[in-house]
């Protein structure tokens, strides 16, 4: 019994020490939750995407592979903190997300991470190739989209790494002071459709006549030059928010 008591006391001491170390590691940091949120309503106008079907482009699935997310300090705070702290501000993926899924439309949490208390000017994230061979649609691709153009099925894919830098409205910085913060990476799908329409994306054709319009690097239909336009459309339609726009 004495041996058991001694072991128990030692275990409790170790647990207490570990708890103290965790508390010390968490000191000076804030919990930040990152949520991916999709919208199918045009900003400012309130036009729903279902009302835009007449424009000829309908998106059914919109897969992206988010590799990592970084928090960029303001210049002032970057000078104050040492390099080891600066390098710690990121949330590692990969996160495979279908932006047209109900989860993304409702707000899909990617996770929570501890970030040093400081002022940050933007969030940086990248799409990178999916290395999960079990997902044949996304394997070796960073973006994969399906839908219809003028009622003809289309698939679009992008293979390269793509980096985005987004900030709050009016490029406002955000400060972490110890309280939990929730940040939303908002993708406006309706804005993407509107941008693609303006870029004459519907000019893509089924070059080999197999019934599917293919748009991607070295695609069989000769639409490869249109693939990069999805990146332009994304850049115009993604933003950072610190509140849920649907609230």
Q: What is the pLDDT of residues 12-42, one digit of tens each?
A: 444 444 444 444 456 689 999 999 999 887 6
Residue 6 located in a structural domain? no
Q: Which residues contact 62 (CB under 8 A, 6 or more apart)?
A: 38, 98, 99, 100, 143, 145, 189
- Give how many domains the chain has, as a whole number: 1
Residue 209 located in a structural domain? yes
Residue 146 domain boundaries? 33-241
pLDDT of 132: 92
CA angle at residue 34 from 158 to 171, to 5 degrees?
A: 85
Residue 24 located in a structural domain? no
Residue 216 located in a structural domain? yes
Residue 144 located in a structural domain? yes
* Among the listed residues 93, 82, 75, the one whose alpha carbon sits nearest the alpha carbon of residue 116: 82
Partner residues linked to 226 by β-bridges: none
pLDDT under 50: residue ranges of the chain: 1-24, 46, 50-54, 247
Residues 192-223 pLDDT 10s: 988 888 888 888 999 999 999 999 988 889 99
pLDDT of 244: 62
């Amino acid at each position: 019994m004495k041996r058991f008591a001694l072991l128990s006391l030692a275990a409790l001491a170790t647990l207490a020490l570990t708890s103290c170390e965790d508390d010390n590691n968490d000191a000076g940091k804030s919990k930040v939750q990152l949520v991916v949120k999709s919208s199918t309503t045009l900003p400012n106008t309130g036009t729903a995407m279902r009302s835009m079907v007449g424009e000829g482009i309908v998106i059914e699935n919109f897969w992206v592979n988010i590799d990592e997310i970084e928090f960029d300090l303001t210049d002032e705070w970057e000078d104050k903190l040492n390099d080891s702290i600066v390098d710690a501000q990121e949330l590692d993926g990969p996160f495979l997300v279908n932006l047209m899924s109900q989860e993304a439309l409702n707000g899909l949490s990617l996770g929570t991470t501890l970030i040093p208390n400081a002022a940050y000017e933007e969030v940086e994230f990248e799409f990178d190739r999916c290395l999960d061979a079990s997902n044949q649609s996304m394997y070796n691709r960073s973006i994969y989209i399906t839908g219809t153009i003028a009622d003809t099925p289309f698939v679009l894919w992008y293979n390269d790494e793509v980096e985005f830098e987004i900030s709050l409205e009016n490029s406002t910085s955000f400060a972490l002071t110890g309280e939990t913060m929730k940040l939303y990476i908002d993708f406006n799908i309706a804005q993407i459709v509107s941008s693609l329409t303006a870029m004459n994306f519907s000019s893509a054709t089924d070059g080999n006549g197999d019934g599917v319009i293919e748009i991607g690097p070295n695609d069989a239909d000769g639409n490869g030059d249109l693939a990069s336009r999805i990146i332009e459309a994304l850049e115009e339609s993604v933003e950072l928010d610190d509140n849920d726009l649907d609230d």
